[in-house]
Amino acid sequence: MLRRGGRLEVKVLTRNEGKLREFIELGSEYGIEVVEVGLPKKEIQAETLEEVALHSAANASPLVKGLFFAEDAGLFIDALKGFPGVYSAYVLKTIGVSGILKLMEGVQMRDAFFKSVIALRVPREGIKIFRGEVKGRISFEARGSGGFGFDPIFIPEGEIRTFAEMSVREKNMFSHRAAAFRAMADWLRTTFKP
């Protein structure tokens, strides 16, 4: 595997600057250099985040050399029967944060969770899946200017702030994406020792 200055290089298939910042920060904790792949991530509409992440990784496999991963995530709201879930990116583009808050008007039960799935393509081994989840609740209004996506309305368990009110480092202490990345990084450290 490619190493630069003792750091393992892992490419990420994303055009989301927020995700990229989080992955780079997480990689620095593990001595992993996260490098953006300049390809559009091809997403499908599917029933699970796993299917979406696997499809993205498999589609890019012939085009990208070395270790790389694709990630998909979703916000699952209990009162909305898991909506928007796997359709989170589409829902964000169409009705946005304000649309979710409108759907939640008058709803007191605000439990929700974020889930992240990473599909890591390992040369000569195939694709490995890593998952992360964080429980929390939906706020009554959008708060904070950091983060991206539904971060302004998600408060992780044990916190009073939304993800958007946290720095990248603080969010990475709680987030679903960080949990999936750490699971992948632990596997990489065990598998590809310097």
DSSP letters of 77-118? EGGGTT-EETTHHHHHHHTHHHHHHHHTTT----EEEEEEEE
Helices (H), 118-175: 168-174
Residues 117 and 114: their CA atoms lie apart, in Å, by 10
Options 72, 78, 111, 186, the catalytic residue: 72
- 72 in catalytic set: yes
Ramachandran assignment for 96, one of left (phi > 0), alpha (psi -120 to 50 degrees), beta (any other): left
Active-site residue list: 72
